[in-house]
Amino acid sequence: MAHCCSDNEYDSMAKSVEEARAAILASSPALTDTDVLHLTAALGRVLAEDLCAPQPVPAWPNSAMDGYALRSSDGEKPRQLIGHCFAGHPFTGVVGPGECVRIMTGAVLPEGADSVLIQEQAEIQDKTILPQQRPAPGANIRQTGEDLQPGVEALHAGTLLRPAQLALLASLGIAEVKVFRRLRVAFFSTGDELRPLGSTLEAGQIYDSNRYALQGMLQRLGCEILDLGRILDNPEHLEKTLQQAAGMADLVISTGGVSVGDADYIAELLGRIGSIDFWKMNMKPGRPLAFGQLGEATFFGLPGNPVSTMVTFYQFVQPCILKRMGKSTPWTPSVLKLPLAHPLKKKPGRTDFQRGVLISGENGLQVAGVGQQASHIMSGLAHADCLIILAAEADAAPAGSLVEVQLLEGLV
Ligand code: AMP
Ligand code: MG
């Protein structure tokens, strides 16, 4: 891979992470096609319609605790136990003055009662209940519509359906939802040195690991995946693959061959068959990046070094995919600030995405680098649980300084 400058040099021609991300998002249109799915098939999909509550949740006032339903106006006076109600089995009578009904969590509040005395605050003498304190009106009652009033928007179009959203929809009695169709993503790796798993490596050969990273990241985003395999550094094969990928996918990703080395053909080919920008990125890892249009498809040419492939995917491809899937903002990974447990080395010039681990101790949550930070050291990323972002202009970061962190779990 050809390099134009060393790690400690500023490069005025290079694009910043923010500039590149903004340019990518500006030309990443959201899908419009939709599917109608049962909730059991909708996990990870993006809602394509605003959904309002058709009825109140809860639909009836009910008890939040196990205890006794009664009238609070009787104060601490003893109450006569006249019946009981369980979740799903309401009491059909009326609770009058001086009376109470045994009630369990989730059971409908009987008519006449306005309060639930929790059982820990009641003394029981045969069929008489002696309150140990005056139950306040409305105490321990879940009111009708307290969660959602009818007609109120429960979820808006663009919401990514996670387990909590599926449960909310189910609580409203909604069984089927309109979601955007899945994004079709074709990907391939390039390099004469790459060998499939199961083969014996000869001198200079390596296993093709990037395709497994891509498959995992795309699967977690809920994409429809088209794995086009490993392609040799051969312009005819590459051109054929690019054309084929563009015809079948919404988004095409390649890894490797995107620089200006003698066996790097991606730039030249795409200049001819698509409209592509090649960016020298002001970041580490992940210097070269190609982005553009290949027919109807969005194209990303990611750098070949495995750590660069994954870091650039998270910073640029994932936001593009989330936007194209129809998800509403945010598309970019969330950033938190944590103190550094140990100093980190860095030279000013490029935004650094160092691999880090979280440390939870008596000083609270801290973050530390994983040690080896080179872009071919996959074990560092595999042991990391976050990326530590050090700004382009920043120098080395001392222990105790606050640094920006992206959690890898939060990166989907
Ligand atoms: P390239 O971007 O093609 O110049 O590749 C940069 C480095 O990443 C080289 O050391 C390649 O051997 C390595 N590399 C490229 N593609 C892969 C891949 N699919 N899996 C693992 N390593 C790769
Ligand atoms: Mg290569």
Full-model pTM: 0.92
pLDDT tens column, 300-322: 999 999 999 999 999 999 999 99
Nearest partner of 66 among 104, 120, 108, 106, judged by Cα:
104
- Residues with Cβ within 8 Å of 50's Cβ and at least 6 positions away in sequence, in order, are 153, 155, 156, 157
Distance, CA 211 to ligand 2 centroid (Å)? 14
Nearest partner of 185 among 95, 128, 246, judged by Cα:
246
C-alpha gyration radius of the chain: 30
Q: What value does the mean pLDDT of the chain take?
A: 94
Nearest partner of 386 among 345, 346, 355, judged by Cα:
355
- The confidence band for 412, taking pLDDT boundaries of 50, 70 and 90, is low
- Burial class from Cβ neighbours inside 10 Å (0-12, 13-18, 19+) for residue 43 reads middle
Is the previous residue joined to 285 through a cis bond, with omega within 30 degrees of 0? yes
Q: Which two tokens stand for residue 269?
A: 């080919």
Distance CA 167, CA 136 (A): 32
Distance, CA 206 to ligand 1 centroid (Å)? 9
User: What number does the ligand 1 atom closest to the CA of 258 have?
Assistant: 2
Taking the CA atoms of residue 259, residue 260, residue 263 and residue 269 in that order, the dihedral angle to the nearest 10 degrees is 80
pLDDT tens column, 64-118: 999 999 999 999 999 999 999 999 999 999 999 999 999 999 999 999 999 999 9
- Burial class from Cβ neighbours inside 10 Å (0-12, 13-18, 19+) for residue 356 reads buried
Q: Which two tokens stand for residue 242?
A: 């690019």
Q: Is the CB of 194 under 6 A from ligand 1?
A: yes
194, 265, 313, best to mutate for ligand 1 pocket (most atoms within 8 Å of CB): 194
Tell me the H-state helices in 259-360: 266-273, 306-312, 318-324
pLDDT tens column, 146-202: 999 999 999 999 999 999 999 999 999 999 999 999 999 999 999 999 999 999 999
pLDDT tens column, 219-228: 999 999 999 9
